[in-house]
A and B are shown apart, each in its own frame.
Chain A
């Protein structure tokens, strides 16, 4: 469903090169983990796929269900089913979580030619989703991410994913900053959202998350490229031997 070929990208402002000829294939319904040392370009990769304006693509192709993803605007990519769970979710004072979620949900429904949900219908819909991430309905009345703890922000990202039901979910360090209970809740949420119609890409430093959400594939990124791919066992091997073991390959 997603095919990345020889992708080069730099920071638009400084022209600093981050991705340097990256290749990656994601099959429908598969779960991937992308690991790698700090600064290897993992987060950049997820932002580039989502279309963040701070990055410039200098070379390469990204095809999504056979279409050129790079031609689409960020909101068009979202409507086409690309979802990014942010490493640092943004605070939006004064905008309630409920209205933000409903606006997003209705934008997606409209795009699919479905009826928009009114506030009452949406409330029923979202309450089911809240259970998935064990969130109190009170969260809906609070401003988006304002005053949320680190764990609550991450859970809120998974809630958005549950509401929007994307085809491709990129989870950028969704496990970082979580205590063990929050990690379990977030992981449970992700597992409930696994489906043959949905591919999930988890970007993480630690193999800890992978104990809860078992990936089909593990990729190691070093210096803007995927240098090694394998199965679940690759993560364990990395944990044992450290990134130095693969550094040489880049």
Chain B
């Protein structure tokens, strides 16, 4: 049965195709000149270049962290292409001006960019290698006062907002990869919800790495002013190459008083083959600042791809009564490695955090949950609840949990629960004995295990996520 289940898990990656699209690239390698060249390519104002250069100079003083429970050959930063953009200039005024070949790529990925064909009520920003190629529904959104644009455009159109918020949650000094990103980031998404607006539709960014040896370094910045609500989703895929590609993104969220940001990720970067050759290094810094009273930030992630996933979407709960949530499903198979979790930093009074983490390990993969719950002295009446469940499939994989809890206020209530289970022969046999075939059995068991997380996803994507797990996990137990 083990081999059957494994073969079910081992369905091929369906987004691994490459598209031959002519690219405008900078030469390989990283130097101050490259940083300047990126800035020139993007026709950036002086302040933006300054930000990059400070970050670059700081990065030079840093060394790559080694504390994570992952092993890999460190990227050769001089062998990465830091800027690669499709040559045909995508004029954002109209989708008709986007290179039809690129539209085709997104079509093939199931993300049609023509508005009439799109998912109802979901606006998409499509990022292809280093640049944003299309942003849909902009008009409808701007009527509501919502800014939803590529980062490059925002630099020109909303410099004051960017100067105020860029790097305010994740400063370039934060960590090695955040510094690198700040120096070389080429595009990303900017969202601004002005006071009192409930964003009328789901926003999403779809990231696609196309060029071999290109790194993807995008930034996402979402600012929700007082009394607002926004739900945002990102999706990611990449072609199948036998070399590793680096994806080092930074996501910053700012929620002011009574604002709510819901940030969902369905990550399906290429994971490498069954021998661990190729695949994306997904080294991402994601953090949200609950700045105002009663604000709320909720992270939901379904991580199924990447050779290595290394990220901790976090919340700083500064405003009184603010709420941070983290719902995660991380699936690893073959030789994939994941070290993921969250940080909940309670500063304001009566702040609350909830962490639900579901790790599924199959093949020879290693899956770690690492999480910090910190209750500062000022966080009177803070509460935190964490639940970390691991599921093992087969005999050769590993699941690890590293919870860190620091409590400096005696009124806090902190709970942590963890379980480990195995999809075993007996569990599958129970389903088979009731006439339910193995494929359905596994899908039901996995979806049951992940239910608490899936129900946090926007409806349009919950179904997709379930299917994705089905594809990644089709068939193995022991």
Partners in one complex: yes
Known A-B contacts A53-B425, A103-B440; the reply to A92 vs B448 at CB < 8 A is: yes
The one of B1, B435, B449, B450 in contact with A164, judged by C-beta atoms closer than 8 angstroms, is B435
User: What does DSSP make chain B's interface, helix, strand, loop or mixed?
Assistant: helix
The reply to whether B450 and A74 form a contact with Cβ atoms under 8 Å apart is no
Q: Answer yes or no: B20 CB below 8 A from chain A CBs.
A: no
Closest to A99 in B: B444
Interface residues of B in 372-426 (CB under 8 A from A): 421, 425-426
Other-chain residue from B1, B427, B432 in contact with A78 (beta carbon distance below 8 A): B432
B433 within 8 A of A: yes
Find A54's partner among B425, B436, B451 (CB 8 Å cutoff).
Answer: B425
Contact with B along A69-86 (1 / 0, CB 8 A): 000011101110001101
Measured CA separation A93–B446 after assembly (Å) = 9
- The interface centre, meaning the residue of B425, B426, B438 with most chain A CB atoms within 10 A of its CB, is B426
With A53-B429, A54-B425, A74-B429 as given contacts, are A94 and B452 in contact (CB-CB < 8 Å)? yes
B432 and A90: CB pair below 8 A?
no
Q: How far is the CA of A91 from the CA of B327 in the complex (A)?
A: 23
- CB of A13 to closest CB in B, whole Å: 11
Output the residue of B430, B433, B437, B438 with the most chain A CB within 10 A.
B433
Contacting residue for B435 out of A53, A93, A111, CB 8 A = A111
CB-defined contacts of B452 to chain A, threshold 8 Å: 94
Known contacts A94-B449, A103-B444; A75/B427 CB under 8 A? no
| In the complex, per-residue mask of A81-122: 1 if CB is within 8 Å of any chain B CB, else 0 | 001101001101111000110011001100100000000000
Known: A53-B425, A90-B427. A78 touches B433 (CB 8 A): yes
Taking a contact as CB atoms closer than 8 A, the residue among B1, B427, B440, B451 that contacts A53 in the complex is B1
User: Measured between C-beta atoms, what is the minimum distance from B465 to chain A in Å?
Assistant: 14
B447 within 8 A of A: yes
| Docked-complex contact A73 and B448, CB < 8 angstroms | no
| In the complex, chain A residues whose CB is within 8 Å of the CB of B436 | 75, 103-104, 107
A226 CB-CB contact with B under 8 Å: no
**CB of A49, distance to nearest CB on chain B (Å):** 11
A142–B421 CA distance with the chains assembled, in angstroms: 19
**Would you call A52 an interface residue if the criterion is a C-beta within 8 Å of the partner chain's C-beta atoms?**
yes
Q: Is A100's CB under 8 angstroms from B425's CB?
A: no
> Is B434 at the interface (CB under 8 A from chain A)?
yes
Q: Are B449 and A90 neighbours in the complex by a CB distance under 8 Å?
A: no
Residue pair A84, B445 in contact (C-beta under 8 Å): no
A78: chain B residues at CB < 8 Å are 432-435
Distance in Å from the Cβ of A82 to the closest Cβ of chain B?
Answer: 8
Instruction: Give every chain B residue within 8 A of A86 (Cβ-Cβ).
Output: 430, 433
What is the chain A residue whose CB lies nearest that of B430?
A: A90
Which residue of B1, B427, B429 has the most chain A CB atoms within 10 A of its CB atom? B429
Which residues on the B side are within 8 Å of A84 (C-beta)?
433
Judged by a CB distance under 8 angstroms, whether A30 is at the interface is no
Question: How many A residues have CB within 8 A of the partner chain?
Answer: 30
A229 within 8 A of B: no
In the complex, the answer to whether A107 meets B437 with C-beta atoms within 8 Å is yes
Bound form: Cα–Cα A79–B182 in Å: 60
Is A23 interfacial (CB 8 A cutoff)?
A: no
Judge whether B435 and A75 touch: CB under 8 Å. Answer: yes
- Residues on B with C-beta less than 8 A from A104 are 434-436
Instruction: Tell me the smallest distance from the CB of A91 to a CB of chain B, in Å.
Output: 8
Which residues of chain B are near A100, meaning CB under 8 Å?
Answer: 434, 444
B438 shortest CB reach to chain A, Å: 7
Establish whether residues A74 and B432, one from each chain, have CB atoms under 8 Å apart when the complex forms.
Answer: yes
Nearest-neighbor residue (CB-CB) of B427 within chain A: A90
A144 to B434, CA, bound (A): 13
In the complex the two chains form, what is the Cα distance from A79 to B436 in whole Å?
9
Determine whether A143 belongs to the interface, using a CB cutoff of 8 Å to chain B. yes
Contacts of B449 in A (CB 8 A): 93-94
Docked CA distance A100–B436 (Å): 9
Other-chain residue from B425, B427, B432 in contact with A73 (beta carbon distance below 8 A): B432
Which single residue of chain A is at the shortest CB-CB distance from B424? Answer: A90
Q: Does A50 contact B (CB under 8 A)?
A: yes
B438 touches A75 (CB 8 A): yes
A92 to B448, CA, bound (A): 8
Q: With A94-B450, A143-B448 as given contacts, are A52 and B435 in contact (CB-CB < 8 Å)?
A: no
CB-defined contacts of A94 to chain B, threshold 8 Å? 447-452
Provided the pairs A99-B444, A100-B444 are in contact, do residues A89 and B430 lie with their beta carbons within 8 angstroms? yes
A-B contact pairs, 15 of them (CB 8 A): A51-B433, A53-B429, A78-B432, A78-B435, A83-B433, A86-B433, A89-B430, A90-B427, A92-B430, A92-B445, A103-B434, A103-B436, A103-B440, A104-B436, A107-B437
Contacts A90-B427, A92-B444 aside, 10 further interface pairs with beta carbons under 8 A come to A75-B431, A75-B438, A77-B433, A78-B434, A92-B427, A94-B452, A103-B436, A104-B435, A107-B434, A107-B436
Q: Nearest 7 CB-CB pairs, A to B?
A: A94-B448, A95-B448, A104-B434, A78-B435, A74-B432, A90-B430, A94-B451
Binding site for B on A (CB under 8 A): 50-54, 73-75, 77-79, 83-84, 86, 89-90, 92-95, 99-100, 103-104, 107-108, 111, 143, 160, 164
Partner-A contacts on B (CB < 8 A) = 1, 421, 425-427, 429-438, 440, 444-445, 447-452
